[in-house]
Chain A
Amino acid sequence: DQQVKQNSPSLSVQEGRISILNCDYTNSMFDYFLWYKKYPAEGPTFLISISSIKDKNEDGRFTVFLNKSAKHLSLHIVPSQPGDSAVYFCAASGLSGNTPLVFGKGTRLSVIA
């Protein structure tokens, strides 16, 4: 049973436009959510997180939105740049970060110049 789902395996966006990556979760005990970015031949790196007490967190070009009632979160990248091309993993944990992270399968973003 997959608790964190990223239903789009891939996404292509033109440079300068908005990229929207989506993530759904099923476990209502999850209260802390993170996005990781992974380039080929490197380990995933932390990008941005959000706690369930918030519905939005912003860091430069990256914004994560959380809709708790829908058990849905999304990552917006504006404007998208070619260097953003990578695999993005959504992850979730419960008890305010005191349980192991559960990862989605990832979405491959391609930003076309």
Chain B
Amino acid sequence: EAQVTQNPRYLITVTGKKLTVTCSQNMNHEYMSWYRQDPGLGLRQIYYSMNVEVTDKGDVPEGYKVSRKEKRNFPLILESPSPNQTSLYFCASSRFGGGPGANVLTFGAGSRLTVL
């Protein structure tokens, strides 16, 4: 089954304790992205990657890091989490390059993160 898998689905942590949210896709997609969803703010892009070793900042990159060493994986790293990073996080992927069906993102099920 074509899917985007992210883990953990739920996490409660404390300020300053580094954490990583993993994301993996099995569709051989070039493009991957992380979003956070907050009440009243919709989906905001954190980072995206158009291919291996190519990453770019989205709208709200502060406090986050990403890496794209393999095509299928795109982990989100919070080096020193703070309470304002409490949110619902989504990883997504798509093929790229234009044409029908390109840029149709497939989303993971979400990771709810609470930073105390």
Contacts and interface: CB of A to CB of B under 8 A. Distances in A.
A100 B58 contact: yes
Interface residues of A, number: 25
Nearest to B90: A43
A41 interface: yes
Given A105-B42, A106-B42, A97 B98 contact: yes
Contacts of B107: 36, 43-45
A2 to B, nearest CB: 9
A34 B98 contact: no
A89 B33 contact: no
B43 A43 contact: no
Given A89-B43, A105-B42, A96 B110 contact: no
A98 B42 contact: no
Interface residues of B, number: 27
Contacts of A82: none
B98 A98 contact: yes
B16 interface: no
B99 A96 contact: yes
B27 interface: no
Given A34-B103, A106-B43, 10 more contacts: A43-B109, A43-B110, A95-B98, A96-B102, A97-B98, A97-B102, A103-B35, A103-B42, A104-B42, A105-B42
Interface of B: 4, 31, 33, 35, 40-45, 48, 58, 90, 92, 96-99, 102-110
Interface of A: 6, 9, 32, 34, 36, 41-46, 49, 89, 93, 95-101, 103-106
